[in-house]
């Protein structure tokens, strides 16, 4: 399992002339780092008197980001397995799950700008950027597999959902970048 192998080994296999891991697995790792950064900001907020009024909400964010982090890490290896299985539905389901979870993850960033430890505000910005980019990457892999799906109604509904989510995610990333930028350049 790649999750238990080194960063260097993972990158070597990613670069190599091997069928997997590829962009789908790397996008899951990207998203896992985004979720981990959300957790870090929450961990540096909880217990600080200055942020005690947000304690319950930040603990809730941490619980969600930690759950997401494990799911993203699982997808790093699941994407490799799905590719090897040569089953079109597996190859579609894994990036579709990734895209949906990125959408859940990025929604944790805006409340954390207001309620998280301001010394780590740039990490909230990085998390939003990572989750948006992981979503965009997953979308490429979904689009490729949708071309091979016979069920045109299903393909259409997935495309519609993704298009809608893509717009929201882009907006959240942009707003997060602007807000974080103002605080750190301020």
The contact set with a second copy (CB under 8 A) reads: 2-8, 10-12, 14-18, 22-23, 26-27, 29-30, 32-33, 35-37, 39-40, 43-44, 65-66, 69, 73, 76, 120, 122-123, 125-127, 129-130, 132-133, 136-137, 140-141, 143-144, 147, 177, 180-181, 184-186
Q: What is the DSSP string of 31-87?
A: HHHHHHHHHHHHHTTTT-GGGGGGHHHHHHHHHHHHHHHHHHHHHHHHHHHHHHHT-
Report the nearest approach of a second copy to the CB of residue 84 (Å).
16
Report the nearest approach of a second copy to the CB of residue 142 (Å).
10
Report the nearest approach of a second copy to the CB of residue 56 (Å).
18
- 76/92 with CB nearer a second copy: 76
Long-range interactions of 45-48: CB distance < 8 A, separation 24+ = 45/115, 45/116, 45/117, 45/120, 48/117
- 153/185 with CB nearer a second copy: 185
**Cα dihedral sign, 21-23-27-28:** negative
- 15/53 with CB nearer a second copy: 15
């Amino acid at each position: 399992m790649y999750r238990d192998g080194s960063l260097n080994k993972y990158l070597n296999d990613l670069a190599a002339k091997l069928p997997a891991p590829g962009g789908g697995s790397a996008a899951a790792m990207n998203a896992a780092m985004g979720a981990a950064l959300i957790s870090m900001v929450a961990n540096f907020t909880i217990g600080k008197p200055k942020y005690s009024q947000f304690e319950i909400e930040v603990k809730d964010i941490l619980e969600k980001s930690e759950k997401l982090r494990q799911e993203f890490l699982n997808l790093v290896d699941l994407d490799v397995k799905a590719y090897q299985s040569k089953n079109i539905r597996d190859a579609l389901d894994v990036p579709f799950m990734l895209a949906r979870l990125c959408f859940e993850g990025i929604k944790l960033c805006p409340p954390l700008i207001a309620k998280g430890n301001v010394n780590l505000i740039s990490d909230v910005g990085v998390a939003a950027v990572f989750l948006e980019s992981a979503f965009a990457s997953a979308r490429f892999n979904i689009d490729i597999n949708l071309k091979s799906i016979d069920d045109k109604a299903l393909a259409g509904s997935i495309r519609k959902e993704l298009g809608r989510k893509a717009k929201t995610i882009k907006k959240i990333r942009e707003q997060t970048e602007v807000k974080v930028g103002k605080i750190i350049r301020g």
